[in-house]
Structures are given as C-alpha cells and as structure tokens.
Structure 1
Amino acid sequence: MAANSSTPAVPSGGSGGRAASIREGNSYQVSCFQVHLAKLPRNLLAKTSTIKNTEQILEQMPHVISSLDAHLDNGLQSVPHLKTVTQLLANMESCQLKSLSKAPSSQESCIAANMESSLLM
C-alpha cells in the first residue's frame, strides 16, 4: 500500500481546508481593496497642496476668532460715542434747516446750543 504522491499531504487535525479558505478570503480582501483604491481620484497628489492650505487656515482660525472678538468688544465700547456723534450731526442738520428758513443770527444760536448739548452727553 503505497501512498499516492499526487495528493498533497494534509497536516493532522484536518485544518487543510480551513487554510485554503483563509487564503481565498485574503485574496478576495486584497482584490476589493484594489478596486476601492482604483476608485480614488487620480489627481490625489495634486490635492495635497489644497489639503495643506486648509490645514494652515484651520490652525489660524482660533487667532482670527480671538481678533474678531476683540474688535467686536472695542466696537461695542464705542457705541456711546457713536450715539453722541449721531446726535451732534442731527443737531447740525436741524440748525442748517432752521437757518435756511430764518435769519442768519439763528444759525449762531444753534451752533452754541449744539456745543452745549454735546458737552452734556
């Protein structure tokens, strides 16, 4: 009873079929990976500069937000001054309209009134 030399030897424990199945599964995974890899954009290397620029912008965002916040705070502190300037401009406009309809001496009294009202604010 001679052993058939054309049949591959199977290690004891009967795991020969399982090993072949694992090899087939691995080759299937590799081919799926290659299919997904082929679907990636061909100009991926060209996009690296865009990715780096985006990274730099994102790194600068906290500083930009902080600066905008500081400018906003300064602007909010200026609101009372802006109200004063707006009131002065409104008073000047009112005086100019009155001076067009009345004598020139009323313009001088309006200017004096504007100066007094701006000092009170």
Structure 2
Amino acid sequence: GEYTITRQLVSGADYAFDCIGLRQTMEQIAPACRTCHFGEHVGGTAVLVGVPSTPVELNAIDILINEKQFRGSIGGSCAPDRDFPTFLQWHADGHLPLEEMVTERYSIEQINEATTALEEGKISGRAILEF
C-alpha cells in the first residue's frame, strides 16, 4: 500500500502503476508518487493500466501542488508497426521471456470457462486460448 511505498521511498515513487483496475488500487497510485519540492523536480507519474469498472476519486490538490501526472495506458501505449519488431528481437535474444508471462492455457472447448475465470478475476497473469 501507500504507506509501504512512501516509507521505503521517502519522497514517493517516480512511477506508480495500477494494473488491476480496482477502485482501491487506482486511488493509491497518485498518493504513492513522488512529491514535488519547489524548484527541484516535478512529481511522479501515476499510470492506469488496469481497466476500471467504477469511477475513482482523486485528490486534485495533491496532484496540482506536487506537479504529479495521472495518465492512462492502453496496450502499453504500443504502436504495433513500430514496436513489435523490437519486442520480437528482445524475445529472440532472450530478454523478453514471453512463456513466463502465460499463467493459464485453455482449449477452444474451454472458452466459457476461460471467460468466466477472466470475469471473476481468477486469471493472475496472461491466459492463452489454444485452438
């Protein structure tokens, strides 16, 4: 939580990511970001990756006076034509172990089970539908 991050990083994190999309985690990322010390640097950046299902409340005063940024990222803000060749090269060179990111595999016959698991938040990483 916020307390642990700010205790470890006295001024807060340079970047804080929410990859879950739960209200409670989304509301923690901006407060966990680095605060601005006037004239020294801008505040940290909170990045929303998880897809929210409910509105969230943000402390606009904290974001304003600490010059923090709150931004979204769909698909890692990736441009496939530009980025995929780089990702493939990283994988070929052993720097991007894609196999380790896959936590679940489902056959095409298990599509309903896979959909239910996804909707219920039971997939902890990435799932592959094999057919």
Asked if Structure 1 and Structure 2 have the same fold, meaning a TM-score greater than 0.5 normalized by the shorter chain, the answer is no
Identify, as 1 or 2, the structure richer in helix: 1
Identify, as 1 or 2, the structure richer in strand: 2
> Which one has a bigger Cα radius of gyration?
1
Which gives a bigger RCO, structure 1 or 2 (Cα 8 Å, sep 6+)? 2
Report the TM-score when normalising by structure 1.
0.19
Report the TM-score when normalising by structure 2.
0.18
